[in-house]
Structure 1
Amino acid sequence: MTKILLINAGSSSLKWQLVKMPAEHVIASGQVERLNLPGTIVKVEVGGKKTKEVVETLDEITAIDRVLKRLITVGGVETLDEVEAVGHRVVAGGTLFKGPVKLIPSRINQLKELSELAPLHNPLEVKCIELLAQRLSGVPQYAVFDSAYFHGLPEKTAIYGIPYEWTKKYQIRRYGEHGISHQFLAQQAAEMLDKPLSELNLITMHLGSGASITAVKDGKPFDTSMGLTPVTGVMMGTRSGDVDPTLVPYLMKRLDLETPEVVIQELNASSGLLGVSGVSSDMRDLHEAAKKNSRAKLALDMFVTQVVKLVGGYYTEIGGADALVFAGGIGEKDPEIRQAIIDGLSILGIKIDATLNVAGNTGSLEATDSRAKVLLIPTNEELAMARGVQQLMENEG
């Protein structure tokens, strides 16, 4: 049995699990929410016992140190020497990484070089990798890539309408993100529907501070909302989502900038729900603020509208869907947003049962006369990561 520590560092949260493989037994798990925001929330679960505390603002590095400390104090391990491997979710692998890899210095340097493909994530993930290399010296570390799931996208959805020579020479394409989650959701949906995945059309929605939507046709990814970088698709916590590309030189001129870096940073870190509302990037804050604040209400409406637009487009693109899947922090925990999205899709004959939706239990949420199933499936990127790391370790042996 191998104890693997899994680190899933996102733009606003850090999830972790200590898993015993190959039994897939979760020894301890937790989540640090509201990273870099006042009132960071630290949750830990061991043996069915849950604890929650609100602390001063934590960043990703101080959150990692707290996780390691909690592993010992809550009984996950007696000593950190029991951790035999670390697996990291890495957002952007570009065309270099098509599957999980063991992290060695040259590969870590390659991850740094890919930072422009995921400016909010890859630099952060490299920091976590380097910190854990110090804290857990000698423990092998592995990377599992979000982008790997989308390497097989058909060219007609994977590339942009730019000169084809640019596409090939500079490897410009839709890389997609949240692939670990979308793959897990598709597999779980197939089990839930008791059908072979190869026979299913699905639309999986990973809706959180980072949000992406994927169309699955005949069991394989066919299209996805994030593109060359994770800033595209629907608006998110701090990311703009799709904008006219000429917005960048336009703002450079208006702001008297000589390089685009400031605008790109603002599109990634100061836009989306935060930028429109002026209140917060957190959906929970926006629901409360929207009672009196018109900009907060506008941000919520824009988010729902953009999700509906993409889901509706994917529905026609793949010739209908057997099921729509909600996951992610918003998708799993926000019945108001789920209801609004499905209401926006009513023209397609998709309906949600209001009682089931409010209850928010894993499983089917659709009304009896809905044309497609509506599933709530909590994503488990960490389990998918553990399987990838375990397979790689077995191949090494």
Structure 2
Amino acid sequence: MLVFILNAGSSSLKYQLMNPVSKEVLATGLCERIGIDGVLKHEFTDGKKLTLDVSMPTHKEAIELVLKTLVEGEGKVINSIDNIDAVGHRAVHGGEEFASSVMVTPKVIETMKKLIPLAPLHNPANIMGMEICQDLMPGKPNVAVFDTAFHQTMPDYAYMYALPYDQYTKHGIRKYGFHGTSHFFVSNEARGMLDKKHNTRIIVCHLGNGSSVSAVLNGKCIDTSMGLTPVQGLMMGTRAGDVGAGAISYMMTQEGMTIDQTLDVMNKKSGILGISGKSSDLREVLQGMQDGDDRCRLAVEMVAYNIKKYVGAYVAALDGVDALCFTGGIGENSSLIREIVCAGLDGMGLNIDPTKNNKRSGKPRDIATNSSTARIFVIPTNEEYVIANDTYKIVSGLEK
């Protein structure tokens, strides 16, 4: 089976063509600057890349271009669109309505539209991608895979906010969590690496421009750091993470900002960028720290400290830990962040091996010392595979 995987954003879309049974990826790519001018970056499995500057007034033209590129010219990897068996869509917010991936139907789209207030930037683009694919590839099954679904196993005492209860019953205000496909994939890989499917206590640190931590007990999420929206939790590339409501109110008063302006600051001008004043890219900030920039040093130490706090909290929530996992661009590539996070966690059974930690590899690996009672894994995530595999199982009738 060939699955066309689509992740539609507000002005961009990522795609991949994959056989989920063999895990073979035929092509992957990105459309950027949709509605502005348009750039398609298409990549083959052998690393060969193709870049096309083509006008993309809307997402429809972008998806049309991607499908054409897959079957024609330099980007060709299949003979016909008919070779595509199904489409799997990344869907950001499923609220409480979707605890698993589902076949896209008019009712599903209608429900997702009702959830737009919870994800005003993401859900409209996700829905648009689904409707366009249904239009361009009539008869092809479409499956929605939700970022929030994996976290729907959290108990109520973990996901509720201590606000008046009617704010939950009337508006659905609670913690939902995100990066669910990554947390599911990595925790499942960790269970395999532990060779232990039962009684597993796993903490996953998905660290990138957006970051989150989850506590996974026996394959089920029991807590996660992101909340109603992705701005809660860890300090991220441009997101503030956990900030007291009083500090937000005080900043608004002192700066004379509206709520929209404040949210813009918290989502786009805070985090690593806001503290360092240099960049949202941790690589540049790490270099700045090495060059003696004290604000870069502060940003790096804050990032690591915030992660460590959540790790400690989740060891308590899980009543111990069998494996601590690092994934995402930062988690997989920054040995220094892993080192700082793990420093001092010996009492929790987490002992990092400096030599193993500093070795680079694109494969899953254990970087704990041989004597460590808990394992420390670096596991490359594969959210696209989760989307493709869920699509395959639902379309094939394997998932009821």
The TM-score bracket by the shorter chain reads 0.7 to 0.9
| Superposition deviation, residue 183 in structure 1 | 1.4
Between 1:69-78 and 1:144-153, the stretch displaced more is 69-78
Q: Contact 1:8/1:382 (CA < 8 Å) preserved in 2?
A: no
Residue 250 (structure 1) aligns with: 250
Correspondence for 2:170: 169
Give the aligned residue type for 1:261.
D
Deviations for 1:202-245, whole angstroms, at most 9, x for unmatched residues?
10111111111111123321111111111111011221111112
Conserved in 2, the CA contact under 8 Å of 1:214 and 1:224? yes
Aligned partner of 1:94 in structure 2 is 95
Which structure 2 residue ranges, 5 or more long, are not aligned?
none
Residue in 2 that maps onto 1:275: 274
Is the partner of 2:169 in helix, strand or coil? helix
- The separation in 2 between residues aligned to 1:338 and 1:53, in whole angstroms, is 35
- Describe how 1:56-75 pairs up with structure 2 within 5 A: 67-68=66-67, 70-72=69-71, 73-75=74-76
**Partner of residue 26, structure 1:** 24
Q: Does 1:331 align with 2:331?
A: yes
Q: RMSD value over aligned CA atoms? A: 3.3
Secondary structure at the counterpart of residue 242 of structure 1: coil
1:51 maps to what in 2?
Answer: 48
The one-letter code matched in structure 2 to 1:26 is E
Offset at residue 111 of structure 1 (A): 2.8
Q: Per the alignment, in what secondary structure is the counterpart of residue 18 of structure 2? A: strand
Counterparts of 1:128-147 in structure 2, within 5 Å, are 128-133=129-134, 136=137, 139-147=140-148
* 80 and 187 in structure 1: CA distance in 2 versus 1, 3 angstrom threshold: same
Change in CA separation of 1:282 and 1:75 when aligned onto 2, cut-off 3 Å: same
Aligned mates of 2:134, 2:31 — CA distance in 1: 23
2:386 match: 384
* CA positional deviation for 1:371: 2.8
Quick check: 1:13–1:31 contact (8 Å CA) kept in 2? Answer: no
User: Could you say what secondary structure the match of 2:214 adopts?
Assistant: strand
Q: How high is the sequence identity, in percent, across the aligned residues?
A: 37
Of 24-33 and 380-389, the range deviating more from structure 2 = 24-33
Separation in structure 1 between the aligned mates of residue 164 and residue 329 of structure 2, nearest angstrom: 38
Distance 1:331-1:213 versus aligned 2 partners, 3 A rule: same
String of CA shifts for 1:223-277, please: whole Å, max 9, x gaps: 11111111111011221111112344333333434x5222123212222122222
| TM-score, scaled to structure 2 | 0.84
1:222-233 to 2 correspondences below 5 Å? 222-233=222-233
The 5 Å alignment of 1:275-294 reads: 275-292=274-291, 293-294=293-294
CA displacement at 1:330 relative to structure 2? 1.3
Change (3 A) 1:215 1:310: same
Paired positions, count: 388
Deviations 1:126-157 (A, max 9, x none): 45445545654654432101111121211221
Q: Distance in 2 between matches of 1:295 and 1:33?
A: 34
Mapped to 2, the partners of 1:312 and 1:18 lie a distance apart of 39
Q: Which amino acid aligns with 1:249?
A: S
- Cα deviation, residue 94, structure 1: 0.4
In structure 2, relative to structure 1, the CA distance for the partners of 1:299 and 1:52 (3 Å cut) is: farther
Q: TM-score, normalised by structure 1?
A: 0.85
8 A Cα contact 2:239 2:268, kept in partner: yes
C-alpha distance in structure 2 between counterparts of 1:330 and 1:205, whole Å: 10
- 1:152 aligned partner: 153
